[in-house]
Chains A and B, each alone.
Chain A
Amino acid sequence: MKSATTIYQEGSHRWVVIARDQAKPGFVIDTNEYLISRDGDNLLTDPGGSEIFPAVFAALATVVDPMSISRLFASHQDPDIISSLGLWLDCNPQIRCHVSRLWDSFIPHFGGDDHSLQAIPDEGQHIPLGLGQLEAIPAHYLHSSGNFHLYDPDARILFSGDVGAALLPDDHNELFVRDFDQHIRHAEGFHRRWMGSNEAKLDWCERASRLKIDMMCPQHGAIFQGDDVMRFINWFAELPVGLSTFRHRRHS
């Protein structure tokens, strides 16, 4: 069973993380979903795969009426991000999903159509939430070629999708990074192999370092907060990623 934990609250403005599913089948990757609420408006980031939909939905139900979630944000097109879309639409045919324009005709294979999918242009855009707004920040090629993060300037929280993700061992179930050096070891292999472009990475690091970020929330693993955010950005900037870091050809 996943559980819901509030990580930020200021009046009606709130971030809740749905994390750590101890009961999930071992063959599916564990994911974090974030509910962002403001003035009665609810948006869910990277709602997850269809197999974990029951756990996500039930955990959400403990903090919000899940039927009142009117928008989804998909950082990219992966099945662990958005294959539950069909189920969300079953529950609420009016739900809208924001996703890169690259994927709005691919995701309908999981469910939805041109009506339910709202394409985000390459340069990103503002997404209103209640009386405030969120920013879809380009993070293309990290790892998907049409990829966005979601920044909440008032809460100073960045939802960073697969960037900052760590594949933690089963006994590591802390919500926040406690020991950066220890933690980052579980993130290194993932970033080296999944992140495709050093150029894209440096461009992202440069832009991210100019944002005011108190918490950086990845889709897998623990949340970075305080100084660990900048520590992560610097670590990532230094990390070689992409094709040059592994041998992909078989030698005969």
Chain B
Amino acid sequence: MSTQALQHSSSQQLASFVRLNEGIKGVVLIAFQINIMALNAILLAHRAGEVALGFGVISKELRTLSVELTALMQALSSDAYQAVNLISDLLRRERRQRLLEATRGQLAAPLPALDTILAERLQVFQNRALQVREVRLRLLDRLEEARKLCQFGTAISRSAKIEAAYGREYGRALAEVSQDFDQKIQAILPSIETLCAGMQRI
């Protein structure tokens, strides 16, 4: 790949990691809302007593899920930060590489010392590019994990709906909460999908 093409793709990568970080913020916010919601649901289930035992268990599961999701997003965020640093360094190197290559192009006679430097720098450059790739793969793994977590969330929020049906006089309140759970989880999934798609494209 020419340096210019590399430069182009690195700036694209930089932009996508910055976007990723913005997307993460959105997911973290929803995870926080799920956490609060689950806490309230646990209290509600406690009040409802025996008829909402199953609902209480599911709410705890959802609360754990929101905590795990938040932790996952934090890890993603620090990966994205690392990626941004690596790519910034890559962009700096690309510019220098381009200028050193231009220098070689302008020389009237070959200068072996410069060739050696260019070769060494290219090596370092490629190592950096490899590191970026590793971070990106790690990010994708984590995103996949987040997606699975959300799928699990969808399943248990459906179970919550079923459990709500056994809630007798608490049935309506529990049904509302389980509806909210479902909505929140459904709101996260597309964000995660977008994050995954954004990462795979680069």
Contact = CB atoms under 8 A, between A and B. Distances in A.
B103 interface: yes
Given A90-B121, A91-B117, A62 B100 contact: no
> Mostly helix, strand, loop or mixed at chain A's interface?
helix
A58 B108 contact: yes
Given A66-B111, A67-B113, A86-B96, A54 B106 contact: yes
A209 B109 CA distance: 43
Nearest to B121: A90
B202 interface: no
A113 to B, nearest CB: 15
Contact of A62 (B95, B108, B114): B108
Contact of A61 (B96, B102, B107): B107
A61 B104 CA distance: 11
Nearest to A67: B113
A157 B52 CA distance: 94
Interface string B68-108: 00000000000000000000000000011001101101111
A190 interface: no
A69 B103 CA distance: 16
Given A58-B108, A62-B108, A86-B96, A53 B113 contact: no
A62 B108 CA distance: 8
A50 to B, nearest CB: 6
B188 to A, nearest CB: 41
A87 interface: yes
Interface of A: 1, 50-51, 53-55, 57-58, 61-62, 66-67, 86-87, 90-91
7 nearest A-B residue pairs (beta carbon): A58-B106, A54-B103, A54-B102, A57-B103, A67-B113, A54-B106, A58-B107
14 contacts: A50-B95, A54-B106, A55-B106, A61-B109, A62-B108, A66-B111, A67-B113, A86-B96, A87-B96, A87-B100, A90-B117, A91-B100, A91-B113, A91-B114
